[in-house]
Structure formats: structure tokens, C-alpha cells
Structure 1
Amino acid sequence: MRDMELIEGHRAITPPEGMPVWDVDPFDTDILRDPEAYYGELRARGPVVYIPRWSVLACGQYETTRTVFSDHENFVSSRGVGLNDFHLGEPWRPPSIILEVDPPEHTRTRRVMSRALSPKVVKTLVAMFAETAERLVEELVAQHRIEAVEDLAERFPISVFPPAVGMRDVDQRILVDYGACVFNAMGPDNALRRAALARNAQIAPWIMAACARERLTEDGIGAMIYADADTGEIAADEASLLVRSLLSAGVDTTVTGIGNALHCFAANPGEWDRLRADPSLVRPAIEEVLRYTSPVHTFGRTAGRDSQIAGFPVVEGTKILCVLGAANLDPGKWGEDAGCFRIDRRPMGHMAFGAGIHGCVGQNIARAEMEAVLTALARKVARIEFDGAAPWRPNNAIHALDKLPLKLIPA
């Protein structure tokens, strides 16, 4: 039976017979700050559960989550990757033409972005990343005590990513806040989303102006995207939207990844010793940080047609929460020590950058930035120690630190 009542802008559903029902609010701020118990309970209740608070399905076991997230034919992105169904209401902003779109449109825009962010392009940026990281880390080690979110996790990406894009206008607070706004907007109409939409109203005009062709240099990633508009592969207004997508995906998730890495190593000093002793572990360490902390903890999909998940029928219009954070800690995939941070794990197949055709197109550049920072730190810092409370910042889709006071003990 289909119910046309709307909840949070999507169609309310009746759970299929036999599906586990869990009266929980995944967007409760206490859960967003400390989600591990929620992740474990979600996996324990089954491959998919019904959450009546928001009339959504949620999956957190690895295999089911990966299957749903990768199945772009049955579970679409074009109807929004948050709780609102773009087929039933006005999107809160013009939808992303790479994140919130399906084939064949997605194939065309993805091709443009994949070229602009290809391994070949990223390779040309590695030296600049390394030099910037060396200078910044040397400065911070001399300070000894730092607030690592603002001083390093935010500052480094804002030092290298806008120049890589070719942006002439750079404002650290606006660029970081914009990404946080985008991800908070994926949740329900809670205080986090309302604050995000209010902040976005203030900064969105600045963002769009900064993405305009005349505000970009001629030698950056942004210029490459606009060059594809010159050939007719995309339209000029699409080029500006793709550059905008770079900012929401290329700043906030990298900021989060760097901050989370520092937290992991402060909490696990033995793993920091291992990395310093064997610098070849830096890339596996990055993958383990991403798996263990899941910078993007939840992403939504919408059933584009009647389908099924784990044998349960799913009607068209159903919203599904793919809880990537739970999947990335699933002992069924990663073993009984899934909840341990271990840099030699080499967690192939983690979902921190998504999966399938919607895997993060900027993941190569994010990894390169994280590698530059960790490599510089490993050479110059003997120990990373907590220097006060390190609270997590609740966000409807991002698992990020609010503050991270650290002491850097020089090597």
C-alpha cells in the first residue's frame, strides 16, 4: 500500500512485513557526536531497518550498504541525497549536476570532472602540496601547542585547493562553512539544517561569484572545466556549477579527513611510531583513517522504482539512508578488530569515498593532500598529544571534529 503523506519532503511509507523497526533518531546530536553505538545497533538489527521517526529505511551492514549505494539504476541520486525528494518539492539550492544526477546526464558531467581531477593532473600538484605542508608544519611545530582543526586541518586545504582550482577569491571561513552547510542540508528540518540554510543564504552569492570564469586564473582546474564549455561538451552555466561542486566536495571532506587523522594518531601513539618508522605506510594509514572515521557518515538514496533490499520489497519513492560509517566498521567485513585503528590493515573497499559511479570524483586530490600533511608531520613530529578536550561537531552527514587542541613534540 502506498501512502502519499510527506515526511521531510519525501513520501511516507509503510514498512514491509517482517522488516525490523527501530525507533531512533539518527540525526540526534548525541548520536552525531558519538555514533559508534548507533552504528553497532543498526548492524545488529539486520541488513535494513525501518526508522519511523523520518519514515526512511537505513542500512549499515557492509554488503547491503555497498549494494544499495552502488545500484544507481534502482536507487537514484537525482531525487536528492538527503531526506528531501527533489521530485516532490523544490530543492534547497540548484542541484549538483554531478552529485545529484543520474546517467546519462551524470556520465557527461562526470567525464568532465574526471579529466579535471585525473591522476595526471593531481601529479602536477603534488610538489606544491608537499612544499606548503612542509612550511606549515614547521611553523606549527615551533608553536608547540596548536588548535589543529583551524590551524592545520582547515588551513592547509585552503592554502592549496583554491590555488589548484585557480580561485582568485579565498576566504577560509566561507569555504569551510559552505561544505558544512551542504552536508547539514542533507538532514531533516532540525536545528543543524536550519542554521546551515541561514548561513548558506549569506555565503552562497559569494561562492557563486568566486566560481565565475572571470574570477578564475587561466591555469587551474576551474579553467579546464570552463574549456570544456568552450567545446560544447557542457554549457557555460554547467561549468560554474561543476566548479561549485569542487568546493563542497574538495574542501570540507579533506578538512575532516586531516583532522580525523590527527585525532587517530593522538589516540593511538603506537601507530604514529609505526608510521614514523616506516613512511611507506602513509598511504595505507590514510585509507585506515578514512575507514575508521568515515568523514561522510551518511548518504541518502531514493528508490527510483519498485525494488528490493535484502529480500524486502521497497516501493518507489522510498528514502534510504546508506550509513557509510556503520558499514566501514562492520566486523563482518573487516574482522573482529574492526573497531581498532591499525595502519597496516589496508582496507580495500571501504566506503569513505562512496562506491559505484558516484564514488567521490575528487578522492585522488584528497588523498594527495592528506599524504602531504602526514608525510611532513612524520618527519618533524615525534609525538602528537591531546592538549585538552576534542569534541566532535554534530553534522547531519559529516563526522568532523569541532576542536582539536594538540601538543606537537618535535622529532
Structure 2
Amino acid sequence: MATIPALAIDPFEDSVLADPSDFFVKLREAGPIVKVEQSEGFDIVAAGRDSIVRAIFEDHDAFISSRGGGILDLARDEPFRTPGVLQETDPPYHSGVRKVMTDIISPRHLRSLKASFQKTADEIVDKLLEMGEFDAHTDLAEAFPLRVIPDAIMGVRPGGRENLLRYSTWLFESMGPRTPRARSVIDSVENIEGALAWVAESTQRENVAENSFGAKLWAAVDEGQLNENEAGLMTRSLVGAGVDTTIYALGLTLNLLVDNPGEYAKLHAQPGLGKFAFDEGMRWGSPVRQIWRTPSRDLEVAGIPIREAQKIMLVMGAANHDPDRWGPTAGDFDVERDSSAQLSFGRGIHQCVGAPIARMEADVLLGTLAKRVKKIERVGKSVPLLNNSLRGWSSIPVRVEAA
């Protein structure tokens, strides 16, 4: 039996959060499963090779989700919030609730949203063309999901939507270790108790808009498919998993297009490449830093022993740059590459159920941008996001030239 290799890099250090590329390489090179250093004392291992990450995602019996989607072990640690009914459960219970959500987020229901997505994209791009210079993170990548997700997907009331980003910041920081930086961010979130209360209230039957996905989840209660607690928690999952992740995925893609003007020129010439550009941005940028799994028993992975309950970080960014999967051009950003097999949405029975929504948002927004904008270029340095669970940018200053 092989000894587990160790890597003296803390993946939650500010320098690694700002630029994890060196960590990705060293993690893959160190071994299939690697013990990583963590300043807060957590006993964790990590996987960064595509074949290993993919195999763990797909083995939901050996690597379970019910012990927590973050660094905490829900079998022994106090949860920081009520666990989710989609991402933090296992079969057979998970199978039933996922079927309900999958039926709701179906191509038939998604098609009905495309016109409203397009209207919003046109309005935002019109405004940005008038501005000429703007922040591609806040004015584009953030502005679009914050319009379409609350309106069409969650169906939440208009007042108080500023709570969405406050809730998401608290949520994704809390999924990692409480480092001094993370504690400082969590403590600085304005009125988090008020934001949590607003999210809880907004997911209730009387507060979701008619015909929204939130309303469809409550209709499943009337049909006997869910109970009221499940409907509220599943509507909440549309908030936690659908806002920030899409925002930072779009921002990463836009920043890559700015840094690779030749690739933007291809997109401008073929706006239908928007969905390919987004999947490639998801592969290259990997907006979710890691997803956690917990071994259900003592076992081995590629000859490396792992203890029952030892938390495993599945580092999708490292896997998405693995040359054994993506070849010698793994480090290149290529809008014509078929990156649909990238791991940023997860894999297996817990693969992100909202992926079709994010892809449709990106297809509409990037396609509209490509048609209307001839050139997009940087006017200042992008500012990296420092967050325990999300990778992206806090600011992307750009200027655009109309087509």
C-alpha cells in the first residue's frame, strides 16, 4: 500500500486564492490523492487529476455527500446552515428530490425563458454601449444574472434583492475554513441575519412569483412530491447555487475574452460560439474552487489509503487543466474547443442541476455581446476575488467599440 504524499501548500492562502495555477500543477504532480497543509488544522486530502476527480464524483456510494458539501463533517460538526436537500443528501432520498428539480428545469420550461433572457441582455448591452467604458464584472457579469435569476428562476419579490449577494458571500466563505481572512469577510457582511431571514421568507409559497421555478417547486408540494420544508430549501438552493456561481463564471469568461482578442474576434464572427466560449471559460477558469466528498468507509484510491470521514477536496480547476485529459493545449483558451466534459459543474448524480440555466444565460448574453460589440479591451487591471469557495474577479475595467 502506497504512502499518501504530502504537499506543503495551503490552498486557502491569499496568494493561492489569487492565482491557483501553480497549486494546480503541483497538486497533479504530487499524486492521485495528496494530503494538503491547512492552517486551521483540518485533516484534508485533495485530488487534482481529471481521472481521479471524475471517478470520485461518479462513485456516490463510496464518496458520500450527506456529510457536508463544505469542509465541515455534518456527522460530527455543527452545520452553519440547514443542509441542502439536493447537494447534501445521498440516495435513495436524493433520487426523489433531484427528479422533481430535473423535471422543473427541463428544456420545455427553459425554452419559455429565452425571450425574457434576450430582452434583458439587449437592455444591458444597450446601456453598456452608451457608457463605452464600464466594469465588466459589476455592469455585465453581475448585472445580467441578478436580473434574470430572481425574476424568472427564483421568482422572488423585488424588494430586498441586495440580500442575494450578501447571502452568497456568507454561504461560500462559510463552506471553507474560518481563516482570518474568511472570518473578516463573514463578520463584515452587513446584517447577515437580516439577509438570511429575507432569503428564508422569499422562498416561501406566498412570496414566489407565479410561473417561476420557485412556484413550480411549491406546486410539487400540492402534488405530493415534496413537503413544505423541502420546497423552501430547494428554492433556497436556486439562490445559493444559481447566483454567484453564474456571475463569476461569466466574469471569468469575459476576462479571458479580453485577454485573448483573437478568441473574441472568433466569437464576434460567429456569435453562436457563445455556449462554447462559456464552457471553455468554465474549464479554464473553474469558478467553484472545490467540491467536497467524504469516504463512507476506509478505502484506497489508486493505491492511496484514505480513512472513513477524511474530507476530500475535489479541485476541479486542477483537473480542468490536466494535460492527460485536455492535451498539450490545456493551458490555452480556445472558444472553438468542445469543453462540455469539463468538471466545473461536477459529475454523476450530484452534477449541478442548474447547469442548463447557466449555459442558456451565457449563450444569450455572450451571443448578444458578440453581435453588438466589435472589440472589447482592458482599461485597467482586473482585481481577483479572494473567497474560500469561488474563483473569479471583483473588477474587470474595459471599454467597448460598437459593431
TM-score, normalising length: structure 1 = 0.93
* Number of the residue aligned with 1:186: 175
Cα deviation, residue 129, structure 1: 0.4
How big is the shift at 1:69? 2.1
Range with greater deviation from structure 2 (193-202 or 268-277): 193-202
For residue 309 of structure 2, the aligned residue among 312, 317, 322 is: 317
Q: Distance in 2 between matches of 1:115 and 1:170?
A: 29
Choose the corresponding residue for 2:335, options 317, 321, 343: 343
1:281 maps to which residue? 273
2:14 to 23, 26, 29: 29
Residue 104 of structure 2 corresponds to residue 107 of structure 1: no
User: What secondary structure does 2:342 align onto?
Assistant: coil
Corresponding residue number in structure 1 for 2:253: 261
SS, match of residue 302 in structure 1: strand
Mark the runs of 5 or more structure 2 residues left unpaired by the alignment. none
The amino acid that maps onto 2:319 is A
Whether 2:349 is the aligned partner of 1:360: answer no
Q: For the residues of structure 1 that align with 2:80 and 2:219, how far apart are their CA atoms?
A: 29
How large is the RMSD of aligned CA atoms in angstroms?
Answer: 1.4
**C-alpha deviation, 1:70, in angstroms:** 2.1
Q: What secondary structure does 2:113 align onto?
A: helix
How far apart are 1:176 and its partner, in Å?
2.1
- Deviations for 1:32-85, whole angstroms, at most 9, x for unmatched residues? 111111101111111111124332110101101111122111111110121110
Q: Equivalences for 1:1-20 in 2 at 5 Å? A: 17-20=2-5
Alignment counterpart, residue 287 of structure 2, candidates 283, 292, 295: 295
1:326 correspondence with 2:315: no
Residue 213 (structure 2) aligns with: 221
Native 8 Å contact 2:3 2:305 kept in 1: no
Aligned partners of 2:385 and 2:393 also within 8 Å: yes
Q: Separation in 1 of the partners of 2:324 and 2:159?
A: 44
Q: Aligned-pair distance for 1:307?
A: 1.8
Distance in 2 separating the partners of 1:406 and 1:190: 33
Q: Report if the CA contact (8 A) 1:185-1:196 is conserved.
A: no
* Residue in 1 that maps onto 2:384: 392
**Counterpart Cα distance in 2 of 1:262 and 1:144:** 16
Moved more, 152-161 or 353-362: 152-161
Secondary structure of 1:255's counterpart equals helix
The DSSP-based 3-state class of the residue aligned with 1:402 is strand
How much has 1:195 moved relative to structure 2? Answer: 4.2
What's the CA shift for 1:193? 3.6
By how many angstroms is 1:18 displaced?
1.9
Deviation at 1:162, TM superposition (A): 1.0
CA 359–197 in structure 1, closer or farther in 2 if over 3 Å, else same? same
Q: Find the aligned partners of 2:167 and 2:350 in 1 and give their Cα distance.
A: 21
**Cα offset, 1:194, TM superposition:** 2.4
Instruction: Give 2:25's aligned residue.
Output: 40
Structure 2 match to 1:207? 199
Matched, 1:51 2:51: no
* 1:170 Cα deviation after fit: 4.8
Secondary structure of the equivalent of 2:318?
helix
User: 1-side partners of 2:37 and 2:264: how far apart?
Assistant: 43
Tell whether the 8 Å contact from 2:274 to 2:364 is kept in structure 1 after alignment. Answer: no
1:126-141 aligned within 5 A: 126-141=114-129
Count of matched residue positions in the alignment of Structure 1 and Structure 2: 396
Instruction: Note closer, same or farther for the CA distance 1:279–1:102 as it changes in structure 2 (3 Å cut).
Output: same
What fraction of aligned residue pairs are identical, expressed as a percent?
A: 37
Aligned residue number for residue 150 of structure 2: 162
